[in-house]
Amino acid sequence: MNLIWQGIIEAFQLLIHGNREMLRIAALSLEVSLGATAVSLVLGIGAGTAIGLNKFTGRKFIISLVNTGMGLPPVVVGLVVMIFLWRGGPLGFLHILFTPIAMAIAQVIISFPIITGFTSASIQQLDSKLRFQILALGASRFQIIWLVLKETRLPLLAAVMAGFGGIISEVGASTMVGGNIMDQTRVLTTAIVMEAGKGDFGLAIALSVILMILVYAVNLLLTMIQQRNKAQ
């Protein structure tokens, strides 16, 4: 019990006084994960719309692949990205292994299927007659996509939350392709693992609290947007 209390007290001291290293770690976490979410949002909404709106052969197969991708183990993603970026690997010439870019790439791969899956599922849930109605109103291809996305924006925000939540709290891939290098690739999750391993529970708890606050703040913001839309 003493250990826990000590850890919590130390954590709050750290949080109150602020610690430059801690803040830098938190900032990098946000930067990498928000960037990755933004990229997968563009890719995922594009792919999800294509799957949701069109009928083509192999569609069911692709949907099943996407659904599987929604549960991709981050460690496996980390391993694959690591192999590709390794000095002798196919993309080794890029020299980006153990950089925040490599971490962002891994996180895009993790969140892309999540956002794609959510997008295509919410588009498929739309009344098929509504799609006919949009078409019948004289919508061009671009206008159809725009209106369909507008009608599905509530579940789409849920997709953003799920995608972001999935990668900011992910540790396996970040460790493998980032390397947890101080001042360079150390993010909240990798730092927590490390500090806990060293027995420095105070710092680990402080970092966890920051992580929780960040996740909550982003979700709060998105929820507010979602609910305001719903109220309209």
Interface with other proteins by CB under 8 A: which residues?
Answer: 127, 129-130, 132-140, 143, 147, 150-151, 232
Task: Kindly state the smallest distance separating residue 140's Cβ from other proteins, in Å.
Answer: 6
Tokens 């000095």 label which residue?
87
- Least separation in angstroms between CB 224 and other proteins: 18
- Write down the least CB distance from residue 133 to other proteins, Å: 4
Beta-carbon contacts of 214 under 8 Å, excluding residues fewer than 6 positions away, are: 26, 29, 30, 168, 188
CB of 150 to other proteins, least distance (A): 7
Around Cβ 203, how many Cβ atoms within 10 Å?
A: 21
Pick between residue 89 and residue 155 the one whose CB is nearest to other proteins. Answer: 155
Output 132 or 216, the one with its CB closest to other proteins.
132
Q: Which is nearer to other proteins, 43 or 147 (CB)?
A: 147
Closer residue to other proteins in complex, CB, 59/209: 59
Please write down the HEC assignment for all residues of 93-117.
HHCCCCCHHHHHHHHHHHHHHHHHH
Query: What φ, ψ does residue 35 adopt, rounded to 5°?
Result: -60, -45
